[in-house]
Amino acid sequence: MLNFLIRRIAAGIATLFVALFLMFLLVDRAIDPLQDLFESTAPNKEQLIAQRIEDLNLDVNVVLRFFEWFGNLLTGDLGVAWRSGRPVSDILVSAFGSTLQLVSAATVLAVVLGVSVGIVSALRQYTSFDYLIIFLSFLLYSLPSFWVAVLLKQWAAIGFNDFLRDPVISWPAIIGVSLLVGLLWSLAIGGSAARRAQVFGVAAAANVALLAYIQLTDWWADPHIGPVLLAVLGAGTAFGVVAVFAGMHNRRALWTALTVVALGTVLYFPLQQLFKSLDVSNLLIVGLAVVCLVVGYVVGRLFGGPDWRLSARTGAAVAFVMGGLTFVDQVMQVWRPYFNALNGRPIPTFGDSTPNLGGNYWVQVLDSATHLVLPTATLVLIAFASYTRYSRSSMLEVMNQDYIRTARAKGLPERLVVVRHGFRNALIPLATVVPIDIIALLGGAIITEAVFARPGMGQMFVRSLTDAEIEPVMAYLLVTASLAILANIIADIVYATIDPRIRLDA
């Protein structure tokens, strides 16, 4: 492993240097810092041109200017944007932070939803659900991102903000949506006609109950989760995780998950006081998330058994979900003042924060979340289509392999065949695709950021090119090229982790 990392890092540094050199030459040819002065009608035009040439060292050979820039880079100096006078490092940090927020949310949602739906679609090959997912995937994949973004601004933001003036869902709408949800679940679960009818009834009834609860409790005006809903959602998560990854026959895993749900519900009340008494920060939240994972893992370990590692992983997963629901509940508690501060229109259509908003940590988190809703939804809808197609085709290929037929011939339950033998091997192609997609997005979703006026990496790159500022452009290229090299190294490591047949030190 160490030899592999040394070789790849050394090759990556050499590749990065060559790429930066070539890009410096190309960018220098593409931009003209003197263009605005050539078009100027100022009487001292020649003097201004001479002064700018001297300030920007434009009379020096471009190769020498590159090595001067590269030498400053080695000392940590990224230069100054000459039009604004701002240090490039400050511009880069601000833009990268905005893009990182967007990419983190969009990638996690797209991968989880896309892979899950793609796997189910593969397992239901040639059924109505499979055909529906294929049609939806190709439809979303063919849509231009700017068109999706504009539609979301119109219907998901403006429409939802208008809905909040009088948030009433009619009973015919509740019943219609619930019947559609029940139909989708029955198609996804499959099975005999009796089983599909049972799933349809349970899913439709659960959806009616949820929407009725939201409507009757005026949830739109005062959204919250609370201990009761936390326990219900946690129990549903526990049964779901155990059913998929351990099997309902594994009582130790089931009791581990339910114990974690009970602990999370009991700890809900002291956590409320803790959040009120402490100065909450991102570091504290990350620390509490780690504690959640450790507690869940320890609970599974205490239940013991020959397969205690499975119980421990189950407990950690359920604990993480319980912690996430508690965090979301705390953010929801500041909805009312945030709603009033934005004059009843809480879903913004541009920017990454509300100017001069103020408020505590939870208000800032809610503000960042509402600004992420539309651009994240745009990227998720497009990426969802790709990940669904990747995971479906990969799972179909895996399920036709000889070792899958052997596992079934040995009498293993279908859940074990799918989860332990099929799912893990189906992730191998995605291990190459996902890291590279993440880096591509970190370079800036230029169109999405432009539509939503989000000051991310993409907008920084376009603006710097327009202003003929080579230092910010090179800083952008430095980050994206470095991350691209890093993504390929990570992809190889993940690939070897998933598939033990691959040796990095070979």
Rounded to whole angstroms, the Cα distance separating 77 from 84 reads 17
Q: Which residues of the chain have pLDDT under 70?
A: 1, 443-444, 498-506
**What pLDDT was estimated at residue 45?**
81
**Phi, psi at 175, each rounded to 5°:** -65, -40
Residue 219's closest CA among 161, 154, 152, 169?
169
Full-model pTM:
0.85
Rounded to whole angstroms, the Cα distance separating 155 from 83 reads 38
For residue 328 the two structure tokens come to: 């979301």
Computed on alpha carbons and rounded to an integer, the radius of gyration of the chain in Å comes to 27
Phi-psi region of 349 (alpha: psi -120 to 50; beta: other; left: phi over 0): alpha
**What pLDDT was estimated at residue 443?**
65
321, 326, 330, 336 alpha-carbon torsion, rounded to 10° = 80
25 Cβ neighbours under 8 A, 6+ residues apart: 62, 63, 66
Phi-psi region of 333 (alpha: psi -120 to 50; beta: other; left: phi over 0): alpha
Q: Which residues of 119-148 are buried (b: 16+ CB within 10 A; e: fewer)?
A: bbbbbbeeeebbeebeebbeebeeeebeeb
Residue 347's closest CA among 482, 501, 164?
164
72 Cβ neighbours under 8 A, 6+ residues apart: 78, 79
Rounded to whole angstroms, the Cα distance separating 458 from 449 reads 7
Burial category of 420 from C-beta neighbours within 10 Å (exposed 0-12, middle 13-18, buried 19 and up): middle
Rounded to whole angstroms, the Cα distance separating 471 from 84 reads 12
Rounded to whole angstroms, the Cα distance separating 130 from 136 reads 10
For residue 392 the two structure tokens come to: 């479906």
Interval 120-129: pLDDT, tens = 999 988 899 9
**Phi, psi at 4, each rounded to 5°:** -60, -45
**What pLDDT was estimated at residue 505?**
58
